[in-house]
Chains A and B, each alone.
Chain A
Amino acid sequence: DGGITQSPKYLFRKEGQNVTLSCEQNLNHDAMYWYRQDPGQGLRLIYYSQIVNDFQKGDIAEGYSVSREKKESFPLTVTSAQKNPTAFYLCASSINGRSNNEQFFGPGTRLTVL
């Protein structure tokens, strides 16, 4: 059963701690994306990767970091430098990043900073 998985579904973090959100896809897609969703603001792009070992900053990359060591995995680290990390985080993938193909989204991770 192909798709995108994100774990965990809910995540709680204390202030000052780094936390890593998992995103895995078995669709054999080249491109992967991380979005942040806040109420009333739609989805904002954090980072994206068009190919393994390469990634670019999106519109709100400050306080976040990513890696793309494997085609199927694109983990996002929320660092202590992110001033307002409480949000719903969505991972997506598409066949490739060179044309506007459909982006498939995972179920999301809701991060709460205590």
Chain B
Amino acid sequence: GENVEQHPSTLSVQEGDSAVIKCTYSDSASNYFPWYKQELGKGPQLIIDIRSNVGEKKDQRIAVTLNKTAKHFSLHITETQPEDSAVYFCAASMDGGTSYGKLTFGQGTILTVHP
């Protein structure tokens, strides 16, 4: 089955700096890669996703890049703000077969943005 590795496990930045979180996946058939943000005591919330037919996607201060050859994808947050502090999860999924909608999550990254 799919295995997703996420690094780093913790990340501390100063307000205004950029933050980068990286994930690698094992199954070359995976074709959907969402990123979730989880605030303390709450459920995760989708912040951005990318499909395998696209190499990069951007939404305001957040961007995701995908390298299918190397089987890794990254989350980039620019101009970080204290409210970006949370746990971030990457995930991978394959659309089709018997694994419809089944997400495999990375271990999570605790991002702390210092004012």
> Chain A interface (Cβ within 8 Å of chain B)?
4, 31, 33, 35, 40-45, 48, 50, 58-59, 90, 92, 94, 96-108
Beyond A40-B9, A94-B101, is A100–B93 a contact (Cβ under 8 Å)? yes
Interface presence of B62 (CB below 8 A): no
Chain A residues within an 8 Å CB radius of B105: 35, 42-44
Which B residues contact A (CB, under 8 angstroms)?
A: 1, 4, 6, 9, 31-32, 34, 36, 41-46, 49, 51, 89, 93, 95, 100-108
- CB of B101 within 8 A of CB of A50, answer yes
Residues in B neighbouring A97, C-beta threshold 8 A: 100-101
| A residues near B43, Cβ cutoff 8 Å | 4, 90, 92, 105-108
**What would 13 more interface pairs be, CB under 8 Å, given A43-B105, A102-B34?**
A40-B107, A41-B107, A42-B89, A45-B102, A48-B102, A96-B101, A98-B100, A100-B49, A103-B34, A104-B46, A105-B43, A107-B41, A108-B41
- Chain B residue numbers with a CB within 8 Å of A48 are 101-102
For B49, the chain A residues whose CB sits under 8 A away are: 100, 102
Task: State the CA gap A108–B38 with chains docked (Å).
Answer: 11
Which residues of A have CB within 8 Å of B93? Answer: 100
If A42-B105, A50-B100 touch, whether A105 touches B1 (CB-CB below 8 Å) is no
| Closest A residue to B51 using CB positions | A100
**In whole angstroms, what is the CA distance A42 to B93 when docked?**
15
User: Given A100-B93, A102-B49, do A40 and B108 touch, yes or no (CB 8 Å)?
Assistant: yes
